[in-house]
């Protein structure tokens, strides 16, 4: 009896075997067989995005909160191209996103004969923005290619991977692979450094009297070991993408206050005799294109050997998994490390003073972080878009308690927050998702608001509305003698927009009511919209680097 099992069925079953329970995307002429299989099997929730760009960001946000594969299905050609922006952000963020796209029939691929959606060198386009990209060229290799793609996406350094499945192959009938009965994705084991490497690492740490950690995205799984190092006397700071690895209410965790533009911190760095950088690129975005003066003695741990010396020079480098390496380090130095007398108190005092100084630069918005933290559940997911509020207090001082709570555009692209938040909310379970965006970013992809409505997601969207591109205006002030061209926006009234789909709406018109307004919105289960009228609250003050004065 002929099998009715197709390659489309294989794709659906493979994803379920990898633990995927939610996928995002748009149905198209070149992916219908795969989505039909997902619909018939009914084991994966498929969330219909309004565009492939939004769907790709959703898959990214989902992966960051869930920790597993985020999956986006796109159409071919224009549809695949629409997903590119989301794949680029996933690459910035190190998110394991699996992008599955269709392709024209095998006999027409790469022949430029004008088939529907037949883009020139689609695979090359995908390779240019993904960690890797593959085309399934025969039905018999489908499972192997899918497995390779998923392993690529999940293997550090993680990133997005694209797979083309030609439409004719999706319909090919095959025998169901028996190995799917007990399928386990063959991920390589994390590298544990040799005893010699670990002994040298421990010796360098034990020689320090004033040590600190700098944790990045690659250290998110090493929170327990990092917390033990703080117990032994370390202080710490995080890249924006590594925040929450150790809860940020720890008195010696500076969080995202990396020191850029803050002499109080950079002066303290001069007294630090060891900066242990773990799973972090020390990105130019956060270091003022490497102008930030870090402690002189940097020792670096990273699972990517290519990180060695990529940005700041180090005195010693260990290639290894962050969790395994830090656990082995703690075992070697516990009970032996002797930090300088008073160092831990100094670091705690630094945190208090630096936070107070930073908040003092924010004018009428100085209390927003504290107000919001008081009314948000401790386990809520904190999603942001690029906006003045996030560039300042959102990224730097708003306390985050776990790495999965921290979702924002790592590549600093505007208009991504809403979709990242939808994906995050899809993975959040019973946890609330709070999204903060500016009006410019919100209106860029406002159509995806109806994805959240249709999926009945539990999320509160805060729109910091200054009726323009506030960040752009700051750059224009600093670089174009204050000429503000093309930065004022006209958009619909948010209250009327919310009414179109019966979204509960709340408005804040004064700084001291911000927290209570958000609290009222979060009392409502489901999607709510909060507008902060920044014209009524007050102008957002110039912030670093735009508040610097030439000497």
Q: Are 371 and 55 in contact (CB under 8 A)?
A: no
Contacts 24+ apart (CB under 8 A), 456-459: 456/526, 456/527, 457/422, 457/425, 457/426, 457/433, 457/526, 457/527, 458/425, 458/428, 458/432, 458/433, 458/525, 458/526, 458/527, 459/421, 459/422, 459/425, 459/432, 459/433, 459/434, 459/435, 459/527, 459/528
At 533 the three-state DSSP class reads strand
Angle at 76 between CA 70 and CA 81, to 5 degrees: 70
Taking the C-alpha atoms of residue 107 and residue 244, their distance in angstroms, rounded to an integer, is 50
In this prediction, residue 2 has a pLDDT band, given cuts at 50, 70 and 90, of: low
DSSP secondary structure letters along 142-200: HHHHHHHHHHHHHSSSP--EEEEEEHHHHT-B-PPPGGGGG----PPPPPPPPHHHHHH
What is the pLDDT, as a whole number, of residue 412?
Answer: 87
Taking the C-alpha atoms of residue 470 and residue 67, their distance in angstroms, rounded to an integer, is 33
**Poorest-pLDDT segment among 171-175, 269-273, 377-381, 541-545:** 541-545
Measuring CA to CA, how many Å separate 442 from each of 111, 455, 465, 473, 535?
A: 40, 19, 9, 17, 17
**pLDDT (tens digit, 9 = 90+) per residue, 212-234?**
999 999 999 999 999 999 999 99
Does 105 have pLDDT greater than 90? no
Q: Which two tokens stand for residue 360?
A: 């003092």
What is the pLDDT, as a whole number, of residue 140?
Answer: 95
End-to-end CA distance of the chain: 84
Average pLDDT, stretch 110-115? Answer: 71
Domains located in the chain, CATH noted: 7-177 (3.40.50.970), 195-356 (3.40.50.1220), 361-537 (3.40.50.970)
Q: Are 427 and 65 in contact (CB under 8 A)?
A: yes
Count other Cβ atoms within 10 Å, centred on residue 39.
13
The mean of the pLDDT values for the chain is 95
Taking the C-alpha atoms of residue 429 and residue 450, their distance in angstroms, rounded to an integer, is 20
Q: Which two tokens stand for residue 408?
A: 């924002």
What is the pLDDT, as a whole number, of residue 551?
Answer: 40
Average pLDDT, stretch 159-179? Answer: 96
Taking the C-alpha atoms of residue 439 and residue 300, their distance in angstroms, rounded to an integer, is 40
**pLDDT (tens digit, 9 = 90+) per residue, 310-364?**
999 999 999 999 999 999 999 999 999 999 999 999 999 999 999 999 999 999 9
**């590549």: which residue's tokens?**
411
**Poorest-pLDDT segment among 118-122, 139-143, 324-328, 540-544:** 118-122
**pLDDT (tens digit, 9 = 90+) per residue, 277-324?**
999 999 998 999 999 999 999 999 999 999 999 999 999 999 999 999
Does 474 have pLDDT greater than 90? no
**pLDDT (tens digit, 9 = 90+) per residue, 63-97?**
999 999 999 999 999 999 999 999 999 999 999 99
Taking the C-alpha atoms of residue 436 and residue 385, their distance in angstroms, rounded to an integer, is 6
* Predicted structure pTM score: 0.95
Q: Is 42 left (phi over 0), alpha (psi -120 to 50) or beta?
A: left
What is the pLDDT, as a whole number, of residue 490?
Answer: 87
Taking the C-alpha atoms of residue 464 and residue 534, their distance in angstroms, rounded to an integer, is 7
User: How many helices (H) and strands (E) are present in the chain, helices listed first?
Assistant: 23, 17
What is the pLDDT, as a whole number, of residue 1?
Answer: 41
Cβ neighbours of residue 203 closer than 8 Å, sequence gap 6 or more: none
What is the pLDDT, as a whole number, of residue 274?
Answer: 98
Q: Are 17 and 186 in contact (CB under 8 A)?
A: no
Sheet holding 316-319, edge to edge: 235-238, 211-215, 274-278, 298-302, 316-319
Residue percentage of the chain with pLDDT more than 90: 88
């Amino acid at each position: 009896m002929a099998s009715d099992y197709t390659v489309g069925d294989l794709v659906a079953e493979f994803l379920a075997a990898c633990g995927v329970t939610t996928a995002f995307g748009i149905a198209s002429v070149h992916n219908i067989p795969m989505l039909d299989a997902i619909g018939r099997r009914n084991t994966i929730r498929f969330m219909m995005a309004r565009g492939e760009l939004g769907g790709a960001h959703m898959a990214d946000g989902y992966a960051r909160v869930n920790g597993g594969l985020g999956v986006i299905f796109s159409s071919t050609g224009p549809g695949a191209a629409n997903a590119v922006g989301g794949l680029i952000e996933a690459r910035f963020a190190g998110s394991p996103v699996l992008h599955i796209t269709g392709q024209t029939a095998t006999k027409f691929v790469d022949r430029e004969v004008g088939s529907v959606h037949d883009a020139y060198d689609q695979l090359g386009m995908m390779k240019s923005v993904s960690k890797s990209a593959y085309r399934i060229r025969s039905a018999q290799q489908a499972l192997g290619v899918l497995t390779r793609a998923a392993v690529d996406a999940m293997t550090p350094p993680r990133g997005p991977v694209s797979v083309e499945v030609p439409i004719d192959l999706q319909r090919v009938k095959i025998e169901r692979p028996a190995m799917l009965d007990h399928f386990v994705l063959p991920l390589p084991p994390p590298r544990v450094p040799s005893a010699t490497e670990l002994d040298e690492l421990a010796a360098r740490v034990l020689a320090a009297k004033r040590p600190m950690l700098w944790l990045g995205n690659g250290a998110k799984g090493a929170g327990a070991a990092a917390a033990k190092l703080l117990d032994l006397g370390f202080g710490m700071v995080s890249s924006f993408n590594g925040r929450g690895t150790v809860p940020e209410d720890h008195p010696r965790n500076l969080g995202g206050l990396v020191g850029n533009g803050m002499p109080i911190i950079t002066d303290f760095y001069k007294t630090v005799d060891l900066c242990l950088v773990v799973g972090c690129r020390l990105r130019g975005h956060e270091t003022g294109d490497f102008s930030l003066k870090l402690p002189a003695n940097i020792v670096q741990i990273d699972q990517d050997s290519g990180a060695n010396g990529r940005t700041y020079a180090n005195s010693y480098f260990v290639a290894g998994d962050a969790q395994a390496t830090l656990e082995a380090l703690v075992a070697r130095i516990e009970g032996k490390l002797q930090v300088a007398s008073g160092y831990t108190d100094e670091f705690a005092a630094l945190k208090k003073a630096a936070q107070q100084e930073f908040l003092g630069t924010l004018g009428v918005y100085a209390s927003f972080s504290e107000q919001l933290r008081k009314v948000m559940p401790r386990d809520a997911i904190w999603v942001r878009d690029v906006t003045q509020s996030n560039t300042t207090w959102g990224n730097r001082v708003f306390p985050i308690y776990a790495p999965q709570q921290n979702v924002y555009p790592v590549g600093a692209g505007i208009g991504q927050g809403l979709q990242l938040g939808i994906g995050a909310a899809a993975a959040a379970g019973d946890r609330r998702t709070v999204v903060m965006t500016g009006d410019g970013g919100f209106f860029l992809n406002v159509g995806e608001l109806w994805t959240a409505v249709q999926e009945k997601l539990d999320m509160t969207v805060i729109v910091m509305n200054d009726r323009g591109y506030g960040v752009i205006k700051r750059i224009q002030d600093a670089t174009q003698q204050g000429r503000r061209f093309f930065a004022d926006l006209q958009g619909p009234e948010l209250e009327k927009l919310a009414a179109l789909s019966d979204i509960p709406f709340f408005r804040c018109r004064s700084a001291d009511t911000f927290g209570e307004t958000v609290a009222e919105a979060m009392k409502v289960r489901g999607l709510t919209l909060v507008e902060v009228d920044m014209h009524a609250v007050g102008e957002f003050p110039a912030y670093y680097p735009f508040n610097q004065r030439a000497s």
